[in-house]
Amino acid sequence: MNRTRILFVSILAVAILIVGATLLFTDRGGGGTALTVQRPETVELRILASLPVEPWVRSAADAFNRSERTVDGVPVRVQIEAVDGLTALGRWDRNEFGALEAGQNPESLGEAERQALGDFPVAWIPDSRYLVELANAAYKERLGRDVFLTDGEYRARPIAISLFTWGLYASRAQVLEARYGTIDWQAIHDAATAAGGWPELGGDPGWGFFKLVVPNPARNVGGLAAMIAAAGEYYGRTDIAVEDVVNPEFQRWLKDLMGAVTDFSSSSAYTAEDFALFGYSVGDGGQLLESDLLQNMQGILTRWEDPLTLYYPEYLTWFDFPFSVWVGPETTALQKNGALEFQRFLLGDEQQSAALAYGLRPANPKIGVDANDASLFAQWADRGVLPVVPRTTAMRSPDRETLLALLRWFELNVKQ
């Protein structure tokens, strides 16, 4: 081999090494240049999880960490942080997590700033897909790019499902069914506005007036879901807009409903838990997240000796808990891929089956809701729990302006 050829081969080898090193530290998520750091001893993942799904996700993270998973040969450890969906959305909107500005890249930061990025959330598991869309829209307007994706390898993927359903004490449910035939928002509205209270409805005079239970919309995104479902039934369609929210007739009807809630100011984000702890003083029944109701069914029965009966509404809202990987340069390629590894772990048969003990419907279609003896769906099948919910009308996710209009209406007209 002559000297020229040797020189050419040497240059080619160096070029290949440079390209390989560049690819190793390049973000493959489509979010721009990834944070370039030395190869760590451990890939640390901070993941935000909404309150209804956090106990299951935290248990899964403990199992994941014990299994000593790796990504590109580096051990991965997951840290779960419980954050209410609305609270997390507000923190994203205010950029409290410290996303870089448009045109800024990690290489331009000082050492302290680079260290701070090490604690940036790698993924977010909010209550619902529309929260991800709202957060992404705000960042896209500011940065000119997506930070959460809807397609590709890093797309937001649901890891479990929970429906919003009616849960009423059996004694109260029997009276309402006898009077109205069907448990729906109109029946609840009529019960809430009965001037004579329970005696007028055919119930015990000692029950007083009908008391509704829904989550506080200012503290729990479930309250918004309940109002969206109510609006769907009121209008008889699956989508609502700002003009529907500001309709005076609808506002009067909705205010009648929300006026039947005992006390929004004292209710926590854990409405079903309050229901179980304080019983009839909180309410007679309401529309709550199925998983929350199922997790508190035993507590309600033990404390109050009056079991809940579940009814599934025609106009249905639900949470799908999308696992959403941040694709911006604030996190490394190793962190992004580590998050995908944990996502796959959550969607695996073992963890999807484990979700049944938390009252969550698996996102993995291979796992039925009665797949094991620990399933709350099997345990409470005699209380109206349905493995498959028939004849429902799925509500569409409202846009940001509609959600803000509902929140504003609540603050002006109901919040105590």
> Based on the domain organization, do 333 and 387 belong to the same domain?
no
Asked if the structure places residue 3 within a domain, the reply is: no
> Based on the domain organization, do 99 and 241 belong to the same domain?
no
Residue 13: give the domain boundaries: 8-159+322-347
> Based on the domain organization, do 28 and 147 belong to the same domain?
yes
| Element counts in the chain: helices (H) and strands (E) | 17, 14
> Based on the domain organization, do 59 and 187 belong to the same domain?
no
> Based on the domain organization, do 274 and 399 belong to the same domain?
yes
- How far apart, in Å, are the Cα atoms of 369 and each of 213, 374, 385? 26, 10, 10
Q: CA-to-CA distance for 301 and 334, rounded, in angstroms?
A: 47
Please give the pLDDT value at position 392.
Answer: 67
Please give the pLDDT value at position 67.
Answer: 95
Please give the pLDDT value at position 175.
Answer: 97
**CB-based contacts of 108, cutoff 8 Å, min separation 6:** none
**pLDDT higher than threshold 70 for residue 96:** yes
> Based on the domain organization, do 239 and 167 belong to the same domain?
yes
DSSP labels, 216-277: -TTT-HHHHHHHHHHHHHHHTSS---HHHHT-HHHHHHHHHHHTTBS-TTT--S-HHHHHHH
Q: CA-to-CA distance for 25 and 77, rounded, in angstroms?
A: 19
Asked if the structure places residue 265 within a domain, the reply is: yes
- Assign 210 to helix, strand or coil: coil
Q: CA-to-CA distance for 243 and 241, rounded, in angstroms?
A: 5
Please give the pLDDT value at position 43.
Answer: 95
Asked if the structure places residue 364 within a domain, the reply is: no
Name the least confident of 155-169, 341-355, 376-390: 376-390
Please give the pLDDT value at position 27.
Answer: 41
Please give the pLDDT value at position 46.
Answer: 97
Asked if the structure places residue 146 within a domain, the reply is: yes
> Based on the domain organization, do 316 and 327 belong to the same domain?
no
% of the chain residues with pLDDT over 90: 69
Please give the pLDDT value at position 35.
Answer: 46
**CB-based contacts of 239, cutoff 8 Å, min separation 6:** 395, 396, 398
**pLDDT higher than threshold 80 for residue 51:** yes
> Based on the domain organization, do 276 and 381 belong to the same domain?
yes
Asked if the structure places residue 352 within a domain, the reply is: no
**Cα–Cα–Cα angle for 120, 126, 128, rounded to 5 degrees:** 150
Please give the pLDDT value at position 102.
Answer: 84
Number of domains in the chain: 2
Asked if the structure places residue 355 within a domain, the reply is: no
> Based on the domain organization, do 277 and 331 belong to the same domain?
no
Band of the pLDDT at 34, cuts 50, 70, 90?
very low
Residue type, position 132, single letter: V
The mean pLDDT value for 337-349 works out to: 97
Length of the chain: 416
- Mean pLDDT computed over every residue of the chain: 87
Name the least confident of 71-85, 195-209, 266-280: 266-280
> Based on the domain organization, do 147 and 174 belong to the same domain?
no
The mean pLDDT value for 141-157 works out to: 93
Token digits of residue 176: 């309402």
> Based on the domain organization, do 86 and 128 belong to the same domain?
yes
Residue pLDDT, tens place only, 109-146: 777 777 778 789 999 999 999 899 999 999 999 999 99
Band of the pLDDT at 23, cuts 50, 70, 90?
very low
The mean pLDDT value for 22-38 works out to: 44
CATH of the domain at 256: 3.40.190.10
Please give the pLDDT value at position 230.
Answer: 95
Across 199-203, 261-265, 312-316, which has the greatest mean pLDDT? Answer: 199-203
The mean pLDDT value for 73-89 works out to: 94
Asked if the structure places residue 50 within a domain, the reply is: yes
Unique residue bearing structure tokens 């984000």: 269
The pTM of the full predicted model, rounded to 2 decimals, is 0.86
> Based on the domain organization, do 194 and 134 belong to the same domain?
no
- 299: how many CB neighbours lie within 10 A of its CB? 15
Residue pLDDT, tens place only, 237-288: 999 999 999 999 999 999 999 988 887 766 556 678 888 888 888 899 999 9
Asked if the structure places residue 34 within a domain, the reply is: yes
Burial environment of residue 186 by CB neighbours within 10 A (0 to 12, 13 to 18, 19 or more): middle
Q: CA-to-CA distance for 58 and 82, rounded, in angstroms?
A: 9
